[in-house]
Amino acid sequence: MSHDFQLPTGLIGPGSQATSTDGAELEFMAMPSDMRTYASHVPMLTADAAFAPAVAVMEKIAAVAARVAEDGGAEIFDLSGLDTDNRRLVAETMGEGEVAMKLRGVPALAVQESVFAGIWSVTAHGVDRIEVAPVPEAARDRASVPVVDRQPVKAGPGVVNAPALLAELEDKSARFEGELHVINLSLLPHTEEDLAWLAARLGQGATDILSRGYGNCRIRATATANVWRVQFYNSVDTLILDTFEVTDVPEVAVAAPEDLADSARRLSEVLEAIR
């Protein structure tokens, strides 16, 4: 025998389930938010021959981005010869993308990826340039230059698993030939003393990177060749993934060939609208 059955209202949804005896309520993990995405921006200006220098250099940048996407390498454009208005147009067109870098050394360099992946603004006292590359050469070259030297400290109380991790990292560093190796600290038992001892033994390199997307990825080079600390945080700044990577430069900070090809196309479209 069949019956028409209707689910009574009020039995599902918030407040429909009994709370536990200890008063605890079900809480959901915060979802990612505020992801940075590309939005085309065309500077508002009237056609004027005065802006020809800026348009010309950006046309060259677009052409080089397409070439670098195919052949690799890097190319630098010195912007110090542009007047204030032309330099402002370049800055407005390029905007700010997801990746920023602080490169210690002489001179100390500030690096900001544009909204066109693989096109980087590199500035310092007396330096004003754009570099088209998967990653700025200085970020790679300075990575393991010591800002804090490696310290031969002995393992003290509380240092448990760090010596084994250090041996693995040093072995992969010494034999590095381009293959990525990752140690996921989030999945391994370790103590605060382990982390402090590893930091002292590995030292600190000259390249710091911040990649912003869903939350942040904070990357710091160590003074041990090709060894990086890579930490992912969610949108509420909670550490969700903590790793060491043995690699040239962590992939999250590197523009892929397809990114550069797309940047060349999009920049060309913006320039066409400016003309």
> How does pLDDT run across 182-210, given as a tens digit for each residue?
999 999 999 999 999 999 999 999 999 99
Q: Are 49-134+256-274 and 162-253 the same fold in CATH?
A: yes
> How does pLDDT run across 11-22, given as a tens digit for each residue?
444 444 444 455
Identify the CA nearest to 97 among candidates 112, 118, 115, 84.
Answer: 115
> How does pLDDT run across 49-75, given as a tens digit for each residue?
889 999 999 999 999 999 999 999 999
The predicted model gives 30-44 an average pLDDT of 51
In Å, how far are 61, 146, 260 from 71, measured between CA atoms?
15, 32, 11
> Tokens representing 183?
């140690």
pLDDT of residue 215: 79
Pick the CATH number of 162-253 from 3.40.605.10, 2.160.20.10, 3.30.1370.140, 2.40.50.100: 3.30.1370.140
pLDDT of residue 31: 40
Class of domain 49-134+256-274: alpha beta
pLDDT of residue 108: 97
Give the list of residues 6+ apart from residue 136 with CB closer than 8 angstroms, or none: 74, 101, 103, 109, 111, 120, 122
Residue 129 pLDDT greater than 50, yes or no: yes
> Tokens representing 3?
């019956």
pTM of the model: 0.81
Domain boundary assignment for the chain: 49-134+256-274, 162-253
